[in-house]
Amino acid sequence: QVQLVESGGGLVQPGGSLRLSCAASGFTFSRHAMSWYRQAPGKERELVAGITSAGRSTNYADSVKGRFTISRDNAKNTVYLQMNSLKPEDTAVYYCNADIYTATTGWVVYWGQGTQVTVSS
């Protein structure tokens, strides 16, 4: 069974940094692109960053470009989100995402349980 488990969230002051981790299991991690999303109260879930299967290409939401960095370690089945220069607007629950295809299920979207990031003074 596919599992995604986020960790690393917490409370930080504006301008601070956090590093989120997502530990993946139940599928061949190195063959799939991975993404980070976030959702603030009363708002829709939005894409924050994405990374291709080998980690050679990344993309970011305009609101986080230059501040956040997505990376992955395929030997550890883990994807990371380094967040620097944090702003109060970054406060949200952050989710790890994987889209996986199998012959029996077709495409299935998987989410972790989420980790809370709060940026406040």
pLDDT in tens, 19-52: 999 999 999 999 999 999 999 999 999 999 999 9
The whole-angstrom separation of Cα 13 and Cα 41 is 19
Amino acid at 119: V
In the chain, what percentage of residues exceed pLDDT 70?
100
Query: What pLDDT band is residue 102 in, cutting at 50, 70 and 90?
Result: confident
For residues 51, 57, 62 and 67, what is the CA-based torsion angle, rounded to 10 degrees? 80
